[in-house]
Chain A
Amino acid sequence: MNTQTPFIRVSNLNYQYPDGTHALWDINLEIYEGEFIAFIGQNGSGKTTLSKCLNGLFKPTSGDVIVEDLNSKTSSIVQMVRRVGYVFQNPDHQLFNNNCWDEIAYGPRNIQLPEEQVKERVEEAAQVVGLPERYFSEHPFFLSKGLRQRVAIASILALRPKLIIVDEPTTGQDARQSFEIMDFLKDLNENHGHIIVIITHDMPIVAAYARRVVAMGQGRILADGPTAEVFKQTELLAQTFLEPPQITQLAQRVQDLGYDPGTLTVESMVAQHIALRARRDNP
């Protein structure tokens, strides 16, 4: 992975809000094609701020964010959003067209695509998110939360950005809905070539889906690496008031018995348990 050119390179990024609060300190980060990353950290740690710097919504106070060949400081929003998409947590913040078709078409129209291409993109995006045709003429306001979220994602997908940042995909969802949306993101990552970044607190979801974790605290990156590795650093996680998922905690509690402190899933724990028992029974 390190031999390729990164899709995004962040160098010495610092960001200060207009009222003076310094939100990001010396951030260095590289994101490559095919990755599935989770940004974790307490509220106020800077994960949302960093994400908004990645798609050009926020321009760095100092340092650079380079997406492919574009520098976010000198590129227009229109150029940036074709590469980095941002799905906001609450779909209501972005839905305003009279029907779902126009809603999804909004992005492509903003980047001045000819109408036949717009049509193509809308149909494609709707198909990927699983939005049935009968909803095309419906007003987004009256759809269920789940459908609204899909329309919101479709409207970003229609811009065909390589990198998609999703803010809190599972907050407020029940288990089945969480898995549905995450499986969908996994599909986008594995079968459609998108880089996925999720901003979340949901540790079991991070364990199950993210291959890499960036843990932030007080505007800095505290840890950046494969999920299991980051989850082993419990004191570091505690600094940003996070705990690994319960199954990892359990494994860590009994690591002296031979369990891997980087265990991420119940299945893995079960497999280890069986192996350890076998070894114990047949020394």
Chain B
Amino acid sequence: MNKTLLGYVPKESPIYFIHPFVKLYFLLVVSLFPMFITQPEVNLFIMAVILLLMIWSRVDLRILRIYVPVAIAMGWIILLSYTVLGGTHPEFELLAKVLGIKIYWERLRDGVVVYCRILPMIATMVFFLTTSRERDVIVAMRSVRIPFVVTYVFAMALRSSGMVLEDFQIVRQAEQARGFDTTGKSLGYKIRKYVMYMIPLFALSLRRTEEFTNALVARGYAFTGEAAKVKRADYILTHYSFKLHDGILVALISILFIIILTLRYGYNAFSLDSSLLINWLYQILR
């Protein structure tokens, strides 16, 4: 199994045949689709497609288990903020009054729409993170000629976050070894005390910064000045070549995007009035 940013992918997987740039492009463009689609069923369909893509890439789906409670919690939060906290709107249709709180149809409907928009956007993000290794992100950026400084800072951020996570584990254990126990305490207590962890993490990072900088200098790297203007050979790009299927995929994604925009603005497709799901929901709740 190869570890990706957010999960694991087996050593044999079709996803490796795709150029990292395509993956990044997919993330950036497809996550915009829901912005132009109001019909929840279409958005849910997009999410289903992405899940299928994850299965096709042979991602270890157990990682999704973590996201189910998150998705559910998020759903409730959206629902509540759109209904209970929605306020009084006499222009809307009142569905029910629960404990003095007015539940309006329009608000409920909007909540459902927003939720169904967010789901595929998050799914695209998760798909990207579970199928990309750190190196893929960097290759994707370099292949579109983003300045090296930017990609390098990004790479360093990835590297440091990895180190910070490792440190965090040890710091947690060190505190426990001195009797620090959060079992059974309130959430507020936990949050207050977790701030403590930041201090050793900062101290460790600070100490490491000096060595890290020295290492960079010793490798001849400079962020500015003459030395920074050197023409880089970009060796790692030599491992990745943009193939025909990559080009086709990029074209496909782009065409899809244009189609969606055309349908939306030219033909007023994906609107709420023609949404089967919304209409069905309305019937039930009335």
Which chain A residues have a beta carbon within 8 Å of chain B's beta carbons? Answer: 52, 55, 57, 76-78, 81-82, 85-86, 88, 90, 92-96, 106-107, 110-111, 141, 155-156, 159
Contact = CB atoms under 8 A, between A and B. Distances in A.
Nearest to B176: A77
A57 B173 contact: yes
Given A52-B173, A93-B167, A141-B203, A76 B181 contact: yes
A159 B173 contact: no
Nearest to A103: B178
A159 B199 CA distance: 22
Contacts of B197: 96
Given A93-B174, A96-B196, A77 B203 contact: no
Chain B at the A interface: SS class: helix
A81 B170 contact: no
A141 B196 CA distance: 14
A81 B204 contact: no
B10 interface: no
A184 to B, nearest CB: 19
B199 A106 contact: no
B171 interface: yes
Contacts of B100: none
Interface of B: 167, 170-171, 173-181, 183, 196-197, 199-200, 203-204, 207
A124 to B, nearest CB: 16
Contact of B177 (A76, A95, A141, A156): A156
Contacts of A93: 167, 170-171, 174, 200, 204
A82 B179 CA distance: 8
Nearest to A85: B177
5 contacts: A88-B174, A94-B177, A95-B200, A110-B179, A159-B179
Contact of B203 (A55, A57, A82, A92): A92
Contacts of A107: 178-179
A76 B184 CA distance: 11
B200 A57 contact: no
A94 B175 contact: yes
Nearest to A110: B179
A159 B203 contact: no
Given A57-B173, A76-B183, A88-B170, A94 B204 contact: no
Contacts of B196: 96
A78 B181 contact: yes
B176 A57 contact: yes
A57 B177 contact: yes
A88 B174 CA distance: 7
- 8 nearest CB pairs, A to B: A110-B179, A94-B174, A96-B199, A86-B177, A107-B178, A77-B181, A93-B174, A81-B179
Given A76-B183, A93-B167, A95-B203, A106 B173 contact: no
A203 B160 CA distance: 34
**Which of B175, B176, B177, B199 has the most chain A CB atoms inside 10 A of its CB?**
B177
Contacts of B171: 93-94
A201 B236 CA distance: 38
A63 to B, nearest CB: 21
B200 A94 contact: yes
A57 B171 CA distance: 12
A96 B168 CA distance: 13
A93 B205 CA distance: 11
Contacts of B167: 93
A124 B263 CA distance: 78
Pick from B178, B179, B180, B197 the residue with the most CB of A within 10 Å.
B178
Nearest to A57: B173
Contacts of B178: 81, 94, 106-107, 110, 155-156, 159
A70 B207 CA distance: 39
Contacts of B199: 96
B177 A55 contact: yes
Contacts of A159: 178-179
B200 A78 contact: no
A156 B200 CA distance: 17
A77 B179 contact: yes
Nearest to A111: B179
A55 B173 CA distance: 11
Contacts of B200: 92-96
